[in-house]
Chains A and B, each alone.
Chain A
Amino acid sequence: EAQVTQNPRYLITVTGKKLTVTCSQNMNHEYMSWYRQDPGLGLRQIYYSMNVEVTDKGDVPEGYKVSRKEKRNFPLILESPSPNQTSLYFCASSPYRTGFTYEQYFGPGTRLTVT
């Protein structure tokens, strides 16, 4: 089954304790992205990657890191989480080819609470 998986689905942590949220897709997509969803703000892009070893900042990258060492995986790293990073996080993927637009496929979400 074609899908985007995220782990963990739920995480409660404390301020400053490094964490990683994993994202994996099995559709051989070039493009992957992380979003956060907050009430009244919709989904905002954190980071994206157009292919292996190619990453760039989205609209709200502060406090986050990403890496893309393999095509299928795109982990989101919070080196020193703070309470304002409490949010619902989504990973998404899609094919990528210049001049074409493809819909993005989303993972099920990770609910993160930082106390």
Chain B
Amino acid sequence: DQQVKQNSPSLSVQEGRISILNCDYTNSMFDYFLWYKKYPAEGPTFLISISSIKDKNEDGRFTVFLNKSAKHLSLHIVPSQPGDSAVYFCAARGGATNKLIFGTGTLLAVQP
């Protein structure tokens, strides 16, 4: 059973507009959430994170929102740039072992 779900396999936006990537989770015990970005032929790279005690974290063009009651988080990229085109994975920390449980990823394409 997939505990972290990214229901949109792909997303296409115009350069300069907002990109919103969504992630849902089922386990209320998750206490930390992360977003990773992955380019082809490279490993995932860390983008931004949020603790479960917060509802928003911002870093430059990237903002992550957490809605614990809905078990939902989203990543906003404003403004979107062609270099943001990549696969985005959300991940949740599953307990004290630092284990990450990943979603299936969303392919973002930013059109010039």
Contact = CB atoms under 8 A, between A and B. Distances in A.
**B is a partner of A:** yes
Interface of A: 4, 31, 33, 35, 40-45, 48, 50, 56, 58, 90, 92, 94, 96, 98-99, 101-109
Nearest to A50: B97
Q: A-side binding surface: helix, strand, loop or mixed?
A: strand
Contacts of A108: 41-43
Given A31-B98, A94-B98, A96-B98, A105 B46 contact: yes
A79 B96 CA distance: 30
B18 interface: no
A102 B98 contact: yes
A58 B32 contact: no
A25 B4 CA distance: 28
B12 interface: no
Closest 10 CB pairs of A and B: A106-B43, A103-B46, A43-B102, A42-B104, A42-B102, A101-B32, A106-B44, A108-B43, A107-B43, A31-B98
Interface residues of B, number: 28
B43 A40 contact: no
Residue among B41, B100, B104 with most chain A CB within 10 A: B100
Contact of B93 (A4, A35, A101): A101
A98 B36 CA distance: 23
B45 interface: yes
A3 to B, nearest CB: 10
B102 A48 contact: no
Contact of A40 (B89, B91, B104): B104
Given A43-B100, A56-B97, A103-B34, 20 more contacts: A41-B104, A42-B89, A42-B103, A42-B104, A42-B105, A48-B97, A48-B98, A50-B97, A50-B98, A58-B99, A90-B43, A90-B44, A101-B93, A102-B98, A104-B46, A104-B98, A105-B46, A106-B44, A108-B41, A108-B42
19 contacts: A31-B98, A33-B99, A40-B104, A41-B104, A42-B2, A42-B103, A43-B102, A44-B102, A50-B97, A90-B43, A92-B43, A94-B98, A101-B51, A101-B93, A104-B46, A105-B46, A106-B36, A106-B45, A109-B43
